[in-house]
Amino acid sequence: MNSARLVRAAVAAALAAPLLTACSSDGDNEAVPREWIRKTYTATGSDWLDPDSSPTEVAQAIHAEREELDRASGDSKEFLRYGDDMVTVSPYRSGSLIEIEDYRNGYHRHQRHLTYWPNPDSASFRGGGPGEGK
């Protein structure tokens, strides 16, 4: 009888593992691909520079590396939301400037372009980082 319980427990654990993995908050689009950005673009203080590509091209390259939760654009800028952070890609000379910042700060800076993104100051805002809202 103990072996039957052991088998049932093992089967239940094996079936539960994929469900727990699917429900976890460690999805690819939860975190900005910082390391990839650091390796791919030229650092300029706390930001990065692509001297030749448009903001749309840079945003698409970042998207191809790691899909964002949401994306918006305005004033020739591209905005990519990753959980509690966001990436802003702006025109800079003949290329693009890439900024990574906290979602709350970025939202307040660029709010007029992010009209359908959740306001981080609202009571219903749950962020999006690991474990948020659970």
> What are the b/e assignments for 98-124, b being 16+ CB within 10 Å?
bebbebbebbeebeebbeebbebeeee
Question: Could you tell me what percent of the chain has a pLDDT over 70?
Answer: 70
**pLDDT (0 to 100) of residue 122:** 81
**pLDDT (0 to 100) of residue 30:** 79
Does the pTM of the predicted model rise above 0.85?
A: no
Cα dihedral 28, 48, 64, 70, rounded to 10, equals: 60
- 77-89 pLDDT, tens per residue? 999 999 999 999 9
* Average pLDDT, integer, range 24-52: 86
> Is the distance from CB of 79 to CB of 107 less than 8 angstroms?
no
Q: Is residue 18 over pLDDT 50?
A: no
Going by C-alpha positions, the residue among 110, 83, 112 that lies closest to residue 99 is 110
4: left (phi over 0), alpha (psi -120 to 50) or beta: alpha
Neighbours of 91 (CB within 10 A): 14
- 65-113 pLDDT, tens per residue? 999 999 999 999 999 999 999 999 999 999 999 999 999 999 999 999 9
